[in-house]
Amino acid sequence: MSVGLPLAAAPSPEELLAEPARAPSGRADLVRSLFTYTPVSLASHLLGAAVVVVVMRGVVPDERLWWWCAVFGVLWVARLALAFAFSRRRHPTPLDAWPRWQAAWNTLTLLAAGLWGLAAWWFYGWGDALQKTALLMVIFSYCAGAVPLLVGQQRIFLAFASLCFLPSVAVMLLQPSTSDRGLALVMVLIFGLTLLLGRNYQRAFHRVIELKARTDHLLVRLQQEKATADAARRAAEVANRAKTQFFAAASHDLRQPLHALGLFAEALRGKSQDEEVVQLVASINDSVDALEGLFSELLDITRLDSGGVQVSPRHVAMQEVFRRLRLHFEPTAFEKGLSLRFRGGRHAAHADPVLVERILRNLLANAIRYTDDGGVLVAARPRGDRLLLQVWDSGRGIAAADQDRIFEEFFQVEPHEVPADQRKGLGLGLAIVQRLARLIEAPLSLRSAPGRGSVFGVSVPLGRMAAVDPPAAVPARRGGPTLAGRCIVMVEDDLAVRSGLEVLLKGWGAQLHSFDGLPALRAWLADRAPDAPAPDLLIADYRLGQQDSGIDAIRLLRAAVGAALPAVVVTGSVMSHLEQEAQAEDFHLLMKPVAPNRLRAMINFKLARG
């Protein structure tokens, strides 16, 4: 795709150098320079004419002197009028107007040169030596002064010099005095030196024109390349946005069946006591978790590369961040027989809570994945005006040779030594951590030794607890699988996911009201008895039909049964800023596919809090 002016539209340096006054840009610059110096030229000519009149008055016949002055005055006024007309021309000047301005200026200038030659022819024979010298000096001064002005027009300069000098040489040769004839030879020599001076100026002018031509040529190429680069950048931005939107849409669409698969698998486990079936269900859930990790890593990298992550720092209590991390990772750590501890929740950080939590999530997921025995500690420790967030593990550790590479994309430490059930992901988790740390300007550190575990740290500004709402107490985990006596409202437009959730929640003993969208929910609320007991929990998908959302379902149901209704929103879209909406609307967010144990932990937490 070509953008901007083609190179052929600009005059080449060779064209400008060969005919500088004929090239469009060269002619325009030349004409502008001619008219720029016209006021100075007119003033100097007027001064020279006054000198000639003063020197020759009373020597030359008055009639001849005043005739010359009259012609000079008419010519001087004509040149002044031309300069005034040029200054009043319309902009931009058409290309075909520049030659006419140049021809008019050259004509009047040559007439002025002829008038000075006529002054030498008429006045030289009447004066004495002083008067003749003064006359010749005036004429030579104007001829020499025209060198830089007419250097771009070699033939016009030659004509100008000839009209000034040749009448002077001719009238001196016609004088009977030998000194006058000798002076004629001197004038011929001066004429030759003037032409040589003009030639040197001409060469210098050619070099200037050549440099300007090359500059103009490069400028056009630069503009063309800049336009091409801008077009390529815009195309890349469009492609990047399209890629991000594609990943987001693909993630949402693929997470739906994965989410349903996990729910059906868990429902199957609850209905079968066969050990082989239980193992198959566990394998299905592991595969679903691995795919969810791949989607999250790819989308995080895409968002960071496209600049789609905005930093919004505020004072945040670490206890609140730790509570969410505990809720998310405690089941995973328990399954592996690891202890998961949190220290320093009484401190606060001044940073973007979503990005800080994402950094700790990735570090914590890595720590649990690569730790087989012992435990994981997440700590917050003040260090001056900074808060050091650390994730300690008692895992395998990282060799010194690999510590500089683990933050690279797609790099995984010794994958052949990692058990098959832990070879998950693309090796993007720590790369995402590093990019997020750079985004929030938080230095990242690592200490590790093989066989002795690892400590990852990130330093953020220390916050103020006074500016943070006190964290809610973490309720004790409820024992037992039953939800008997609990009324749960579910809004989900995907048939497979809705069916899986219905089987799972009813298997846990819940009384369930299931709807495929807001219209069905409104109809149920309209038919519901005023004294009917309020639901205990709402579970809604974020994207519903007809441009509705789970947040709309929360508002609708809370308006009917009370603002204290606990709510959980389940979504497969990770590109939106749902974390901020969750805080504003007081609901918790679960990302699809949701592992059944995580769903159960969240339900227990919300019911206990409610």
Of 208, 227, 246, the last residue of a domain is 227
Of the candidates 394, 388, 400, 520, the residue with the CA atom closest to the CA atom of residue 459: 388
209 within some domain: yes
Coil vs helix vs strand at 413: coil
pLDDT at position 309 is 64
Q: Are residues 95 and 192 in the same domain?
A: yes
Of the candidates 44, 166, 61, the residue with the CA atom closest to the CA atom of residue 122: 61
| Count of beta carbons in the 10 Å neighbourhood of residue 297 | 20
pLDDT at position 379 is 93
Residue 378 has pLDDT above 90, yes or no: yes
294 within some domain: no
Task: Using only the alpha carbons of the chain, give its radius of gyration.
Answer: 45
Cα pseudo-dihedral 91, 92, 97, 100, rounded to 10: 50
Q: Are residues 403 and 514 in the same domain?
A: no
State which residues form the domain around 109: 8-227
Of 227, 258, 281, the last residue of a domain is 227
Q: Are residues 431 and 498 in the same domain?
A: no
For residue 410, the 8-state DSSP code is: T
Q: Are residues 87 and 200 in the same domain?
A: yes
Greatest mean pLDDT among 199-203, 262-266, 385-389 lies in 385-389
163 within some domain: yes
What single-letter amino acid sits at 486? Answer: R
| Count of beta carbons in the 10 Å neighbourhood of residue 183 | 21
Q: Are residues 41 and 103 in the same domain?
A: yes
3-state secondary structure labels for all residues of 152-197: CCHHHHHHHHHHHHHHHHHHHHCCCCHHHHHHHHHHHHHHHHHHHH
pLDDT at position 77 is 92
Cα 580 to Cα 532: distance, rounded to the nearest angstrom = 33
358 — pLDDT class (breaks 50, 70, 90): confident
pLDDT digits over 175-189, tens only? Answer: 777 776 777 777 777
> Contact at 8 Å (CB) between 325 and 361?
yes
243 within some domain: no
479 — pLDDT class (breaks 50, 70, 90): very low
For residue 449, the 8-state DSSP code is: -
Q: Considering the entire predicted model, what is its pTM?
A: 0.43
Residue 482 has pLDDT above 70, yes or no: no
pLDDT at position 389 is 93
2 within some domain: no
Q: Are residues 439 and 518 in the same domain?
A: no
For residue 467, the 8-state DSSP code is: G
Cα 451 to Cα 441: distance, rounded to the nearest angstrom = 31
Which of 103-112, 215-224, 247-256 is the least confident region? 247-256
Q: Which two tokens stand for residue 541?
A: 């998908």
CATH of the domain at 587: 3.40.50.2300
Q: Are residues 458 and 408 in the same domain?
A: yes
Strand order of the sheet with strand 537-541? 511-515, 487-491, 537-541, 567-571, 588-591
- % of the chain exceeding 70 in pLDDT: 74
Beta-carbon contacts of 74 under 8 Å, excluding residues fewer than 6 positions away, are none
pLDDT digits over 84-137, tens only? Answer: 888 887 777 777 778 888 888 888 888 888 888 888 888 877 777 777 778 777
3-state secondary structure labels for all residues of 289-324: HHHHHHHHHHHHHHHHHCCCCCCCCEEEEHHHHHHH
Greatest mean pLDDT among 30-34, 162-166, 512-516 lies in 512-516
Q: Are residues 440 and 497 in the same domain?
A: no
pLDDT digits over 535-570, tens only? Answer: 989 998 888 877 888 888 899 998 888 888 899 888
* Buried b or exposed e, range 125-160, using 16+ CB within 10 angstroms: ebbeeebbebbbebbbebbbbbbbbbbbbbebbebb
Of 190, 211, 227, the last residue of a domain is 227
CATH of the domain at 366: 3.30.565.10
Q: Are residues 512 and 441 in the same domain?
A: no
> Contact at 8 Å (CB) between 174 and 155?
no
Cα 559 to Cα 565: distance, rounded to the nearest angstrom = 10
Total tally of structural domains belonging to the chain: 3
350 within some domain: yes
Residue of higher predicted confidence among 33 and 369:
369
Residue 581 has pLDDT above 50, yes or no: yes
Cα 576 to Cα 597: distance, rounded to the nearest angstrom = 25
pLDDT (mean) for 335-346: 88
388 — pLDDT class (breaks 50, 70, 90): very high
80 within some domain: yes
> Contact at 8 Å (CB) between 490 and 502?
yes
Residue 24 has pLDDT above 60, yes or no: no
Q: Are residues 508 and 422 in the same domain?
A: no
Cα 490 to Cα 499: distance, rounded to the nearest angstrom = 11
Q: Are residues 491 and 591 in the same domain?
A: yes
220 within some domain: yes
Q: Are residues 49 and 194 in the same domain?
A: yes
